[in-house]
Chains A and B, each alone.
Chain A
Amino acid sequence: MIIFSIAARELRSLFLSPLAWTILAVVQFILAYIFLAQVDVFLQVQPRLAALEGAPGMTELVIVPLFGNAAILLLLVVPLVTMRLISEERKAQTISLLFSSPVSMTEIILGKYLGIMGFLLIMLALITLMPLALLLGGALDGGMLLSGLLGLGLLLASFAAVGLFMSTLTAQPVVAAVSTFGVLLLLWLLDWAGNNSAGNDPSDITGIAGGVFGYLSMLRHYETLLKGMFDSSDVIYYLLLIILFLGLSVHRLNADRMQP
């Protein structure tokens, strides 16, 4: 399969640069620090929680904050790994190898996307090792962990799709990174617009707009999954986002040959 060849090349080149290793190391270090801090907090409150009925458990007190922070950290980091996907090939003019090969634009985009998803899944696996380490000392809420993992995975997949699209727009990796970061932050913060007008009269136009903005926010859908509530509409939201940006990328790459 040609898609896998492109993906394998992408992943290989990624790991041949120090950037990928540095990012893995830094993310792991920061999240490990947050994780340990949460475990510390949990150990302090544990005796009091034991007395309470229906008190939050280890999963809610350690893993949910960990994944919540991971999402914000990855929002900062993913643009750095996706920025080079197409723009670097354009800059080094290696893109003409793909364009003159019997490969369709869709295959190029899917190959690139799979390659970067391979990297992000490795990162996700490394992050997951931390909650799994808790199994040594106690039980976890498996459903909640899985739901949170699914949420983080879908979130990463959406980040990557946005990053890939931004990378098809330019020949400058840094421009791709900055604009990806801008779009991701915007999609994240849309929630504020939703929250601010949440208490208003529902007939109010800003209220409706706020509701729509809130619904479009990546944060809101992530939070429900993080709480262990699996709603297929949240999953569909992420899938639609991914398909939209991958489709736009294919379209943009096609337009490359038409350059006015």
Chain B
Amino acid sequence: MTLMDNQVLVRVEHLYRYYGETCALNDVSFEVSRGEVLGFLGPNGAGKSTTMQILSGNLAPSAGRVWINGVDILKQPKQAKAALGYLPDQPPLYRELTVNEYLQYCARLHRIPRGEQRIAIERAKQRCGLTEVGKRLIGNLSKGYQQRVGIAQAIVHMPALVILDEPTVGLDPIQMREIRALIRELSGEHGVILSTHILPEIQATCDRVQIINKGQLMLSDTLAGLQARMHSSSMVVGLHNMPPLAELAALPGIGSVELLADGRVRLHHASHHVSHNILEHNPAEALVARAVQQGWRLYELIPERVSLEQIFVDITRTEQHEADDVARDEAA
């Protein structure tokens, strides 16, 4: 990992945001480096958009500090904003302008020198697949194209940091793939923060994932780390000579045993909360050795992976459910 060598584009420290009595963000801190795509994952109302709005200078935090490219966004908003491009969940489009006019306005707002505007606009259009529609009115474009214009607006000035709030909402699957490819491409020169509640999107585009729930960061991990968490937490085993279930349950690393309808069994790993070193504690090896030794005639062994969705659901479940889980674990 060369994260430490890379330039830190965003640093967020102890961010709080209250809407009246409601606490939308509760002590959120993180960093994003150049060349990194950070995925922000959370259920609706978790505080994703609030975070994005604060990072982009649209909202002031109740407490905490935000540096964009080393500049404090509250103290020097102009300098900080020069380094960022922002696509809100609702793309900020003037429907009465053509794509070209609109992008030109954005280029001017971002103080691109007059001589370089044309090239910048052409480049943004080309990257977002808008070359064909430059002269059309934004209001007449389809939702997918409008979304692309929104992204073009965010990258026209080649900002160090691009913040995209749910960029693929309302797109068809092909457009989604294109936008995801574009986001991967952007990460070459920019840092990208992406908020979404679409899980495959995170897997397809992000280097790092943060899960936020009720205004609190519940998890912050690299995608590789997440993959490890997603590693097998249970396996389905088929044996011709089925031993008593208690014998299976007694195997090292096995938590509980469940007899399936078709005569196979599902063995759950002992540690309910799957961890990084799951590979070392994988009970499959012991199971196979024992099966050969005892002549159980193993014919099938399918490791079952926890999906990202499962992790997401686990983390974002309410405290009540968590308490229930703990109680159940202790009972087991």
Task: Please pick, from A17, A93, A102, A257, the residue contacting B90 in the complex, using a CB distance under 8 A.
Answer: A93
Tell whether, in the assembled complex, residue B110 and residue A101 are in contact, meaning their CB atoms are under 8 Å apart.
Answer: yes
List residues of chain A with CB within 8 A of the CB of B108.
2, 5
Given the interface pairs A2-B111, A97-B153, A257-B57, the reply to whether A17 lies near B84 with Cβ below 8 Å is no
Q: Mark A165-200, 1 if CB is under 8 A from B, else 0.
A: 000000000000000000000000000000000000
- Which residue on chain A has the smallest CB distance to residue B150? A97
List residues of chain B with CB within 8 A of the CB of A92.
92-95
Task: Please pick, from B88, B92, B111, the residue contacting A102 in the complex, using a CB distance under 8 A.
Answer: B111
Tell whether, in the assembled complex, residue A260 and residue B20 are in contact, meaning their CB atoms are under 8 Å apart.
Answer: yes
- B124 to chain A minimum Cβ distance, whole angstroms, is 14
Range of interface residues on chain A? 20 to 34
- How many residues does chain B have at the interface if contact means C-beta atoms less than 8 Å apart? 33
Please report the C-alpha to C-alpha distance between residue A20 and residue B110 in the assembled complex, in whole angstroms.
Answer: 28
Tell whether, in the assembled complex, residue A99 and residue B57 are in contact, meaning their CB atoms are under 8 Å apart.
Answer: yes
Tell whether, in the assembled complex, residue A102 and residue B153 are in contact, meaning their CB atoms are under 8 Å apart.
Answer: no
Tell whether, in the assembled complex, residue A94 and residue B58 are in contact, meaning their CB atoms are under 8 Å apart.
Answer: no
- Which residue on chain A has the smallest CB distance to residue B93? A94
Q: Mark B60-75, 1 if CB is under 8 A from A, else 0.
A: 1000000000000000
Please report the C-alpha to C-alpha distance between residue A202 and residue B34 in the assembled complex, in whole angstroms.
Answer: 73
Please report the C-alpha to C-alpha distance between residue A98 and residue B106 in the assembled complex, in whole angstroms.
Answer: 9
List residues of chain A with CB within 8 A of the CB of B90.
93
Please report the C-alpha to C-alpha distance between residue A257 and residue B106 in the assembled complex, in whole angstroms.
Answer: 21
List residues of chain A with CB within 8 A of the CB of B57.
99-100, 257
Is A13 positioned at the interface, with any CB of B under 8 Å from its CB? yes
- B57 to chain A minimum Cβ distance, whole angstroms, is 6
Is A25 positioned at the interface, with any CB of B under 8 Å from its CB? no
List residues of B (8-43) whose CB comes within 8 Å of A's CBs: 18-20
Tell whether, in the assembled complex, residue A96 and residue B92 are in contact, meaning their CB atoms are under 8 Å apart.
Answer: yes
Tell whether, in the assembled complex, residue B96 and residue A102 are in contact, meaning their CB atoms are under 8 Å apart.
Answer: no
Task: Please pick, from B78, B84, B92, the residue contacting A94 in the complex, using a CB distance under 8 A.
Answer: B92
Is B59 positioned at the interface, with any CB of A under 8 Å from its CB? yes
List residues of chain A with CB within 8 A of the CB of B93.
92, 94
- B268 to chain A minimum Cβ distance, whole angstroms, is 47
Task: Please pick, from B81, B96, B109, B110, the residue contacting A17 in the complex, using a CB distance under 8 A.
Answer: B96
List residues of chain A with CB within 8 A of the CB of B79.
102
Is B251 positioned at the interface, with any CB of A under 8 Å from its CB? no
List residues of A (70-97) whose CB comes within 8 Å of B's CBs: 92-97
Please report the C-alpha to C-alpha distance between residue A134 and residue B101 in the assembled complex, in whole angstroms.
Answer: 42
- B181 to chain A minimum Cβ distance, whole angstroms, is 24
- A36 to chain B minimum Cβ distance, whole angstroms, is 36
Please report the C-alpha to C-alpha distance between residue A104 and residue B101 in the assembled complex, in whole angstroms.
Answer: 22
Task: Please pick, from B19, B82, B84, B88, the residue contacting A96 in the complex, using a CB distance under 8 A.
Answer: B88
Tell whether, in the assembled complex, residue B110 and residue A97 are in contact, meaning their CB atoms are under 8 Å apart.
Answer: no
Is A45 positioned at the interface, with any CB of B under 8 Å from its CB? no
Tell whether, in the assembled complex, residue A5 and residue B59 are in contact, meaning their CB atoms are under 8 Å apart.
Answer: no
Is A103 positioned at the interface, with any CB of B under 8 Å from its CB? yes
Tell whether, in the assembled complex, residue A101 and residue B81 are in contact, meaning their CB atoms are under 8 Å apart.
Answer: yes
Tell whether, in the assembled complex, residue B105 and residue A5 are in contact, meaning their CB atoms are under 8 Å apart.
Answer: yes
Is B56 positioned at the interface, with any CB of A under 8 Å from its CB? yes
Tell whether, in the assembled complex, residue A5 and residue B58 are in contact, meaning their CB atoms are under 8 Å apart.
Answer: no
Is B278 positioned at the interface, with any CB of A under 8 Å from its CB? no
Please report the C-alpha to C-alpha distance between residue A16 and residue B111 in the assembled complex, in whole angstroms.
Answer: 25
Tell whether, in the assembled complex, residue A99 and residue B58 are in contact, meaning their CB atoms are under 8 Å apart.
Answer: yes
Is B86 positioned at the interface, with any CB of A under 8 Å from its CB? yes
Task: Please pick, from B60, B88, B153, the residue contacting A257 in the complex, using a CB distance under 8 A.
Answer: B60
Given the interface pairs A100-B56, A102-B81, A257-B60, the reply to whether A9 lies near B105 with Cβ below 8 Å is yes
Tell whether, in the assembled complex, residue A257 and residue B58 are in contact, meaning their CB atoms are under 8 Å apart.
Answer: yes
Q: Mark A99-137, 1 if CB is under 8 A from B, else 0.
A: 111111000000000000000000000000000000000
List residues of chain B with CB within 8 A of the CB of A13.
94, 96-97
- Which residue on chain B has the smallest CB distance to residue A16? B96
Q: Mark A1-43, 1 if CB is under 8 A from B, else 0.
A: 0100110010011001100000000000000000000000000
Other 6 A-B pairs with CB < 8 A, given A2-B108, A102-B78, A102-B82:
A96-B92, A100-B56, A101-B109, A103-B78, A257-B59, A257-B60
Name 8 interchain pairs, CB-CB below 8 A, sorted by A: A2-B109, A2-B111, A5-B109, A6-B109, A17-B96, A96-B86, A98-B109, A101-B106
Which 10 residue pairs of A and B lie closest in terms of their CB atoms, listed nearest first? A97-B92, A5-B108, A100-B86, A101-B109, A102-B82, A94-B92, A100-B56, A102-B81, A93-B90, A16-B96
